[in-house]
């Protein structure tokens, strides 16, 4: 039996602080306090040598959901994600009510810079879901 009790989800990205801030808005996560002497995390990161400003994490304020870690990598995204997050905005809802809830959440996330990719409508077997991309092009679903 595994002794692992926690895990984090790690994103490769170009701008760890910016992507962390986006996901904090999506999920209601919180960013750590800005270090003393700095007004923003961006200001703090600009003060560091590039090799030191490569990681940034945000957390669920309830400590129930996994921590998200964002790590700077030199290459850009070139293919579809092999793993993605399902942001479960429509839990317990079905039909038109579910689709309306997902569409409202999609609009909120688009205002934050996300992109709508595809809306899959309920087909009698599967419920509606919406595929989106975050501000760096990582796919995720509203489900």
For residues 2 and 116, the model is more confident at 116
Per-residue pLDDT tens over the stretch 27-77: 999 999 999 999 998 889 888 887 776 889 999 999 999 999 999 998 988
Q: Which domains does the chain have, with CATH numbers?
A: 8-72 (3.30.720), 85-142 (no CATH)
Residue from 129, 73, 140 nearest 103 by CA: 129
In the block, residue with structure tokens 């309830």: 62
pLDDT of residue 45: 84
At 84 the pLDDT is 93
pTM: 0.89
């Amino acid at each position: 039996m595994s002794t692992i009790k926690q895990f984090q989800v790690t994103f490769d990205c170009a701008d760890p602080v910016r992507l962390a801030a986006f996901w904090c808005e999506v999920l209601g996560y919180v960013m750590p306090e800005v270090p003393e002497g700095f007004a923003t995390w961006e200001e703090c990161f600009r003060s560091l040598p590039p090799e030191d400003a490569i990681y940034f994490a945000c957390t669920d304020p309830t400590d129930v959901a996994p921590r998200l870690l964002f790590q700077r990598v030199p290459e850009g995204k070139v293919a579809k994600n092999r793993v993605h997050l399902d942001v479960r905005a429509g839990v317990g809802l079905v039909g038109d009510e579910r689709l309306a809830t997902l569409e409202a959440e999609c609009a909120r996330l688009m205002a934050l810079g996300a992109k709508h990719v595809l809306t899959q409508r309920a087909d009698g077997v599967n419920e509606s879901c919406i595929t989106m991309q975050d501000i760096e092009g990582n796919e995720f679903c509203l489900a």
